[in-house]
Amino acid sequence: MKLEHRAMLQQALDAAKLGDREHAIDMIKEVLAEDEENAHAWLLLARITDNLDEKRIALANVLQIDPVNVKAKELLEKLEQQVAERDAEPEIIPGVSRRMAYIIGGVVVAFIFVVVFVLIIINNNQENRQRQRAAAATNAFLAPTRTYEAFQIAAANATATEIAINPPTTTPIPTSSLPTLPPTPTETPAPSPTPTLVPLPGDLQGVLIGRIGRENYNMDIQIYTYPFNFAPEPIARLEGRTPQLFPDYTRLLFTEEGSGRVDRVVITDMEGVEQPSILDQAQQFGGFEDFYSPDLSADGTKLVVIGDIFGQSNNAVFLIDLNGSSPDAVIRLTNDDAFYADPAISPDGTKIVAVRDDVNSDNPGPDLILIDVASRTFSSLTTNRNALEESSPAWSADGQLIFFTGFDPNAPQTDPTRDANGDGLDDTTGEFIPPIEPGRDIFMIGILTPDNYVARVQDPADDFNPVISPDGNYMAFISNRGGNVYNIYIMHLVTNELYQLTNGTENSYVNDWR
């Protein structure tokens, strides 16, 4: 399966968990329109849709693609029984079943109830108007005696308001001095703690940049900055994905969707005015159609991106010298049939970590690789293929560790207390159970210890997209552990103390920390 399709199916699952089944189904069908042999997408559609006929078609397609899929066979057999029971319902009159008659009767009763309720309200309103006219006449006589009472009430309210606005001040508990070195790859991390409801630590440095709004595969959302001593601030007139700040905080770059749904990376000032750069000619110099997933070097002079090659189905990793102006400023670092995603450049600019999926081989699956910029060769960091699906890698401040998102596709997808055999049906009632997609976790690996990765943030919730602070002490990430809304959390990498940065009603996403 292509990484882009896997990402879309993951987003469909996220949407289903948030209750937006219609959007989830649309995304699944978009994948199927490009890859109708995707058994995973058909099975996911069968789990999410409420339409029994659509479930049956989806499961039949799974078995056509994978005839030995035991789970699909069991689900289809139980579904056929449900459909048969539905179709076998007796008809009271031609074309109307007993259930339909109950529904129609319920609607009629509800309509009668609403009419009676409206009549009662109209009658009450008339009585209230009569009472108000009588009260007005009484108040004309009592107004002088009530003036003093009104002043007393106003004074009491003012005192109460002052106490509420200016509560007694308390002296904050000082935070202790924490070590600055990140953990080594061999350390066993402690279980992820519950977020503390205390102020953010006072030693947070730099500025986070991210987005607030509803995540959508084809929709850009508002870019925000997160200075730690102020509320999030929207950047004027800018909407896009993967925003990043330049080191001097005067410019930023992000991915936007251009004409014809072609992605491109742009550089603007903080007012949203696009700045001229080599990116205007990068597509021509590099020979790619659109480019995305940008990662800016620590000094702001280099940019690594993914580019879709003209006339080909694969893509490649490119390194762009932002100070250059000629074709040799755009360097292609990979040149094979694999599919690449999520590149990130090391703090010293000599290496790039990326996700590589050799989709055309006999053993496809996403893994992390390290690309040496000077030699344009790569070595493997992980080799587990589909046992753990890696994404969004990020470098530690010293360039020795890689933090990344990992997802176990083989984890249970239903509540084991209701579905002990994992067939997607309630063990007691036989009804379909809404899918519970296992959450993503955050892992860590040393660049000198391939395949020796350990869990760094592991929780039943969905945790992903690690971003490391400039001093290397903290990691920000996205999580829905507080409920259905995704928020930004910050964890100290030595003490494991966890802080919640955002707590809004809309999803918050973090992309960069400068």
Cβ neighbours of 419 (radius 10 Å): 18
If pLDDT is split at 50, 70 and 90, which confidence band does 338 have? very high
Domain of residue 14, residue span? 3-88
Residues 399-427: what's their mean pLDDT? Answer: 81
Same domain membership, residue 214 and residue 82: no
Cα separations (Å) of 69 from 61, 63, 75, 286?
Answer: 11, 6, 10, 44
From 84, 76, 83, select the one nearest 423 (Cα to Cα): 76
Q: Residue 224's domain is classified under what CATH number? A: 2.120.10.30
What would the mean pLDDT of 24-44 be, rounded to a whole number?
A: 87
Residue where one domain finishes, among candidates 88, 117, 144: 88
Q: How many domains does the chain have?
A: 2
What is the pLDDT at residue 15?
Answer: 78
Burial of 11 (0-12, 13-18, 19+ CB in 10 A): middle
Q: Residue 73 pLDDT > 60, yes or no? A: yes
The answer to the question of residue 96 being in a domain is no
When pLDDT is cut at 50, 70 and 90, the band that residue 219 belongs to is very low
CATH code: domain of residue 78: 1.25.40.10
* Res 197: pLDDT: 43
Residue ending a domain, choose from 31, 58, 88: 88
Considering only residues 64 and 225, tell me which one the structure prediction assigns the higher pLDDT: 64
pLDDT recorded at residue 372: 97
Sheet holding 251-257, edge to edge: 263-269, 251-257, 233-245, 221-227, 207-212, 508-513
Distance CA 126, CA 139 (A): 20
Q: Is residue 100 situated within a structural domain?
A: no
Lowest mean pLDDT across 81-85, 117-121, 134-138, 507-511: 134-138
Residue 19: which pLDDT band, with cuts at 50, 70 and 90?
confident
User: Is residue 152 assigned to a domain?
Assistant: no
Residue 75 lies in a domain: yes
Give the pLDDT confidence score for residue 56 in this predicted structure: 85
> What pLDDT score was predicted for residue 93?
55
- pLDDT reading at 42 higher than 60: yes
Q: Is residue 215 part of a domain?
A: yes
Q: pLDDT over 70 for what percent of the chain?
A: 69
Among 291-300, 468-477, 495-504, whose mean pLDDT is lowest? Answer: 495-504
Taking 50 as the threshold, does the pLDDT of residue 155 lie above it? Answer: no
Last residue in a domain, options 27, 57, 88: 88
Q: In whole angstroms, how far apart are CA 245 and each of 94, 209, 278, 410, 448?
A: 68, 7, 17, 37, 29
Q: In the chain, helix, strand, coil percent, each to 5?
A: 30, 30, 40
Residue 112 belongs to some domain of the structure:
no
Give the distance, in angstroms, between the CA of residue 388 and the centroid of all CA atoms in the same chain: 18
- pLDDT beyond 50 at 164: no
* CA 373 – CA 371 distance, rounded (Å): 6
The span from the CA of 443 to the CA of 462, in Å, is 13
Residue 224: band (very low, low, confident or very high) from pLDDT cuts 50, 70, 90: confident
> Given pLDDT bands bounded at 50, 70 and 90, which one contains residue 287?
confident
pLDDT of 482 above 50: yes
